[in-house]
């Protein structure tokens, strides 16, 4: 057996390298107090370069490191989603940075490292690299959750997330080990060839491994019954971190699910449609029902994010039933992109509203906001409409695509339960809107000052959900051709 | 000879693993964990995996166990006992998961089904090239990219520890 150095094609991992260099240079610049104020500009320049590199790599379908890294359009699309999430989060974290971090680079570089982990997860073809990317992402998030070290709830969030995350990693690794044991490879294409070949019987170990991998990522993407950590971690973390976590981790997990289902496990994936359907129903229903009784807006959004994982899972179930369906895959990607805009946007308004020590977090505190701060209230209304799925926002189109992909795969019951859940969800989203416009103000909002950077982030999110809601067709066409 | 050694050390590994969870005093548990790791290292040796055995002893039984012992000594043990008694309702879940694992292993061992396919590196090959050389070659050729990414994970962990532990920002 001869071993040779693989072709090191660095341009394949160009966006990843740019993000890595940015993260490291921000760390180094943090050491020099005179130059610290430049760090945020460097981050934005780095992200813009990464976008440019993605634009350059688009349609080239490059492969590097002996097929271990892919820069196909699927990976690049998810890179774009992750970078949009990062960008929106960073625009929202100005207040948090001034308050807790005072210019040192750790917050910025940890956010970038987490983004890098997500990008690695989306753009690889090997279970080992998926695992390493997930660890990069998770370790960064454990620390970001516990970032406000002086606060007990933040430390609790970090520790809880860490313990459950480490436990999950055990599941995931065990699953990967079982799949390696039964196929002799960790490469997703080789797994596909093994399954197609059919000369070796596919043992029960392979199925257990597959289910353990789904459980592992199910923890990260907050499927019920693996969701227990979500409300506490989302509530305890600083709100920009929560916004980043809720959108990014979910997108990365679903990127891995799509990659695994469409290539690696595709010959046998239809056998677990039932399991996925049960998970989807549980996730939607539990998330929506518990969200109704929440009074804290961060906890409400946490349960709503569980419910949204359930909606995406409906499309994933449809995909597993009919693996050739490009429409199901496209509806998942469309929903993830829309979810990134609307969820980070909703958290953005929460960030704008909260006082320095996170006081204004009850939903009733939003009473009367519509008359005092019309811009924030309009943004919040649109995000709530989009999360609830009311036209003309993109959330409506996303839900429409997801439920029609379920119908297309003849999962009528699942589609009906999904629609019923969407109806339940309207109640608690519209409650926020009702408080903002139909109740007298209890707080005086004089502590709120205009924050142009934050307004920019909110405007981008609003623009995203309105544009994608009115003109979804070009994006859907792009997404159906991506695979 | 190999079989006798396998049974002896397999037995020690299982018994000391049981003793880890049956001990009330965490320090005793940690010592039994060292014993388990050592006997697993010997099982690796019996499989011609000398390098993995050495790593097992050096890293797990050596470095990580030292950290464990430090952590146990620094924590307030009485408080820990209280916290554990609260977890009693998780016992059923634990028993269920263990049962599933047990069934799975029994299925594998007794029916010899679904064992998968053998790897492409035979013991003769290992003996010819050498254990460490083979791992080194694979690590720096086929798995070059994951190897580099692993360094990234370590960097992130290091940054994180400093962020959480340093005196002031």
pLDDT confidence of residue B87: 62
**Tens digits of residue pLDDT in A30-39:** 888 888 778 8
Residues in CB range of B66: below 8 A, 6 or more apart = none
Q: Is residue A61 over pLDDT 90? A: no
Checking if the pLDDT of B28 tops 90, the result is no
Segment B132-158 shows an average pLDDT of 89
- Give the structural domain span for A50: 10-480
Q: What is the pLDDT of residue A257?
A: 94
Can you tell me the ipTM of this complex? 0.89
Looking at the domain assignment, is residue A2 inside a domain?
no
Interval A141-155 mean pLDDT? 88
**Is A216 in a helix, a strand, or coil?**
helix
> Which of A96, A130, A94, A134 has the alpha carbon at shortest distance from A113?
A134
Q: Is residue A81 part of a domain?
A: yes
Query: Domain total for chain A?
Result: 1
Which pair of tokens denotes residue A28? Answer: 């180094």
Please determine, for residue B169, whether its predicted confidence score (pLDDT) is greater than 60.
no
* Residue that the structure tokens 């860490």 belong to: A162
Question: Average of pLDDT values for A65-93?
Answer: 91
What is the spatial distance between Cα A45 and Cα A41, in angstroms, rounded to a whole number? 6
pLDDT of residue B86: 60
Do A317 and A404 meet the contact criterion of CB atoms below 8 Å apart? no
Which tens digit of pLDDT belongs to each residue from A218-267?
Answer: 999 999 888 889 999 999 888 999 999 999 999 999 999 999 999 888 88
Distance, in Å, from the CA atom of B46 to the CA atom of B48, rounded to the nearest integer, reads: 5
Contact state of B120 with A1 under an 8 Å Cβ cutoff: yes
Q: List all residues of chain B from 109 to 168 with a beta carbon under 8 Å from chain A.
A: 113-121, 125, 137-138, 140-146, 149-150, 152-153, 155-157, 159-160, 162-164
Among the partner-chain residues B117, B138, B145, the one whose CB lies closest to the CB of A65 is B145
Assess if residue A5 is contained within a domain.
Answer: no
Q: Which domains does chain B have, with CATH numbers?
A: 1-75 (1.20.120.1200), 122-169 (no CATH)
Collapse the DSSP code of A43 into the 3-class scheme (helix H, G, I; strand E, B; otherwise coil) and give the result.
Answer: helix
Chain A residue numbers with beta carbons less than 8 Å from the beta carbon of B116 are 181-184, 200, 203, 205-206
> In chain B, which residues have their Cβ closer than 8 Å to the Cβ of A126?
145-146
pLDDT mean over A115-137: 94
Categorize the per-residue pLDDT at A308 as very low, low, confident or very high, splitting at 50, 70 and 90. very high
Average pLDDT over every residue of A365-380: 88
> Which of A79-83, A334-338, B49-53 shows the lowest mean pLDDT across its residues?
B49-53
Residues 69-88 in A contacting B (C-alpha not used; CB under 8 Å):
69
Counted across chains A and B, CB pairs separated by less than 8 A come out at 111
In a domain, A335, yes or no: yes
């Amino acid at each position: 057996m001869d071993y040779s150095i693989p072709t090191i094609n660095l341009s394949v991992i160009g966006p990843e390298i740019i993000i890595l260099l940015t993260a490291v240079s921000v760390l180094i610049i943090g050491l020099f107090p005179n130059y610290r104020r430049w760090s945020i500009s460097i981050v934005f320049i780095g992200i813009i370069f990464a976008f440019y590199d993605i634009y350059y790599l688009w349609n080239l379908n490059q492969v590097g490191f002996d097929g271990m890294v892919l820069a196909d359009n699927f990976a690049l699309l998810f890179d774009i989603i992750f970078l949009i999430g990062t960008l929106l989060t960073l625009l929202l974290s100005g207040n948090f940075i001034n308050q807790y971090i005072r210019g040192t680079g750790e917050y910025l570089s940890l956010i970038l490292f987490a983004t890098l982990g997500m990008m690695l997860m989306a753009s690889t073809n090997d279970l080992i690299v998926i695992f390493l990317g997930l660890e990069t992402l998770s370790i960064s998030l454990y620390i970001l959750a516990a970032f406000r070290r002086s606060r007990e709830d933040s430390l609790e969030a970090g520790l809880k997330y860490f313990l459950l995350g480490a436990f999950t990693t055990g599941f995931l690794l065990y699953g990967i080990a079982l799949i390696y044991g039964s196929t002799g490879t960790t490469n997703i294409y080789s797994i596909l060839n093994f399954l197609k070949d059919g000369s070796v019987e596919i043992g029960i170990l392979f199925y257990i491994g597959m289910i353990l991998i789904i459980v592992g990522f199910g923890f990260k993407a907050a499927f019920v019954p693996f969701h227990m950590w979500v409300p506490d971690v989302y509530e305890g973390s600083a709100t920009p971190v929560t916004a980043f976590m809720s959108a990014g981790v979910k997108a990365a997990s679903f990127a891995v699910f799509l990659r695994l289902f469409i290539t690696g496990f595709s010959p046998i994936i239809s056998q677990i449609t039932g399991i996925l359907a049960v998970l989807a129903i549980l996730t939607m229903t539990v998330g929506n029902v518990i969200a109704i009784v929440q009074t804290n807006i961060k906890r409400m959004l946490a349960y709503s994010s569980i419910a949204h994982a359930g909606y995406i899972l409906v499309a994933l179930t449809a995909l597993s039933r009919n693996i050739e369906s490009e429409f199901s895959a496209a509806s998942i990607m469309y929903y993830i992109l829309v979810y990134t805009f609307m969820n980070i946007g909703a958290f953005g308004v929460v960030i704008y509203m909260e006082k320095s020590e996170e006081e204004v977090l009850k939903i009733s505190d939003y009473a009367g906001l519509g008359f005092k701060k019309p811009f924030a209230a309009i943004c919040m209304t649109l995000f709530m409409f989009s999360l609830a799925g009311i036209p003309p926002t993109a959330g409506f189109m996303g839900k429409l695509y997801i439920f029609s992909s379920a119908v297309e795969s003849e999962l009528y019951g699942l589609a009906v339960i999904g629609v019923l859940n969407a109806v339940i969800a309207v109640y608690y989203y519209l409650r926020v809107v009702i408080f903002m416009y139909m109740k007298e103000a209890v707080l005086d909002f004089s502590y709120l000052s205009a924050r142009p950077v934050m307004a920019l982030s909110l405007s981008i999110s609003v623009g995203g959900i309105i544009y994608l809601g009115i003109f979804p067709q070009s994006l859907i066409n792009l997404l159906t051709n991506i695979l | 000879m190999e079989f006798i050694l396998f049974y002896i050390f397999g037995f020690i590994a299982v018994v000391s693993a049981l003793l880890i969870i049956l001990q009330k005093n965490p320090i005793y548990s940690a010592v039994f964990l060292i014993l388990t790791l050592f006997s697993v290292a010997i099982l690796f040796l019996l499989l011609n995996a000398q390098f993995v055995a050495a790593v097992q002893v050096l890293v797990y039984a050596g470095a990580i166990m030292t950290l464990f012992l430090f952590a146990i000594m620094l924590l307030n043990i009485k408080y820990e006992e209280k916290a554990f008694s609260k977890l009693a309702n998780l016992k059923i879940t634990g028993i269920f998961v263990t049962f599933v694992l047990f069934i799975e292993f029994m299925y594998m061992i007794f029916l010899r089904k679904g064992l998968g396919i053998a790897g492409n590196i035979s013991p003769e090959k290992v003996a010819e090239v050498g254990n460490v050389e083979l791992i080194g070659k694979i690590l720096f050729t086929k798995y070059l990219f994951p190897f580099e990414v692993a360094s990234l994970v370590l960097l992130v962990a290091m940054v994180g520890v400093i962020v959480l532990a340093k005196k002031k920002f």
